[in-house]
């Protein structure tokens, strides 16, 4: 999927922080986004912000659902529901349900951060730990013209769902 117009991001979890805080950097190492975990909340709640502190997306874990389910809001309006499919043989799948016909499917090796988001079978973003070697750090490459914030937020959700027992979650 590597292309000249694609945008690469690096997601690194802060180890000593309240809640789940992530800084997302661009390929040049500049801070691009901040994900502020809401410590002491019931269920996961995250504010996905630009570096000026403006909330771009809000992520909320849906409680009492069958399997890990997270809702993503933009300006108070739900823009996606990310859900881990429970009945898949031999591999795991996440569905990213967005309004209209543009749903996404994420498939691959989630525990090792090696998976692809596809829309109608076409790759739109790739998550990979291969081109980085640090613990809890991985890259996300987003196709040009895609909703970078939504795809990065979906990757954060997949990480949370796949590592629910990490750090007391």
Q: For the whole model, what pTM was predicted?
A: 0.84
Q: Between 2 and 74, name the one with better pLDDT.
A: 74
Q: Is 120 exposed, middle or buried (0-12, 13-18, 19+ CB in 10 A)?
A: exposed
Task: Lowest mean pLDDT of 45-49, 106-110, 161-165, name the range.
Answer: 161-165
Pair 119, 103: CB distance under 8 Å: yes
Q: What is the pLDDT of residues 115-139, one digit of tens each?
A: 999 999 999 999 887 655 556 678 8
State the Cα–Cα distance between residues 165 and 26, nearest whole angstrom: 28
Distance of CA 36 to the CA centre of its chain: 13
Pair 118, 124: CB distance under 8 Å: yes
Across all residues in the chain, what is the average pLDDT? Answer: 82
Q: What is the pLDDT of residues 15-65, one digit of tens each?
A: 434 466 778 999 888 999 998 887 555 667 889 999 999 999 999 988 876
Pair 22, 156: CB distance under 8 Å: yes
Q: What is the pLDDT of residues 59-103, one digit of tens each?
A: 998 887 677 799 999 999 999 999 988 665 556 789 999 998 889
pLDDT band of 153, cuts 50, 70, 90: very high
Q: Residue 130 contacts by C-beta under 8 Å, 6 or more apart in sequence?
A: 114
At 127, which helix (H) or strand (E)? strand 122-128
For each of the domains in the chain, give its residue range(s) and CATH number, in order of start.
7-164 (2.40.160.200)
At 156, which helix (H) or strand (E)? helix 148-162
The residue-averaged pLDDT of 104-116 equals 85
């Amino acid at each position: 999927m590597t292309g000249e117009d694609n945008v690469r991001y690096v997601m690194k979890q802060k180890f000593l922080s309240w809640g789940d805080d992530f800084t997302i950097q661009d390929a040049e190492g500049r801070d691009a986004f901040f994900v502020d975990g809401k410590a002491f909340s019931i269920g996961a709640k995250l504010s996905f912000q630009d570096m000026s502190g403006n909330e771009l997306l809000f992520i909320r874990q849906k409680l009492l659902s069958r399997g890990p389910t997270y809702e993503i809001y933009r300006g108070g309006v739900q823009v996606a529901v990310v859900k881990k499919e429970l009945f898949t043989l031999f591999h795991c799948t996440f569905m990213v349900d967005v309004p209209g016909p543009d749903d996404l499917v994420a498939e691959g090796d989630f525990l090792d951060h090696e998976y692809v988001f596809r829309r109608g079978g076409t790759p739109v973003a790739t998550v990979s730990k291969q081109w980085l070697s640090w613990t809890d750090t991985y890259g996300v490459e987003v196709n040009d013209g895609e909703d970078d914030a939504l795809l990065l937020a979906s990757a954060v959700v997949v990480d949370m769902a796949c590592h629910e027992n990490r750090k007391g979650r």
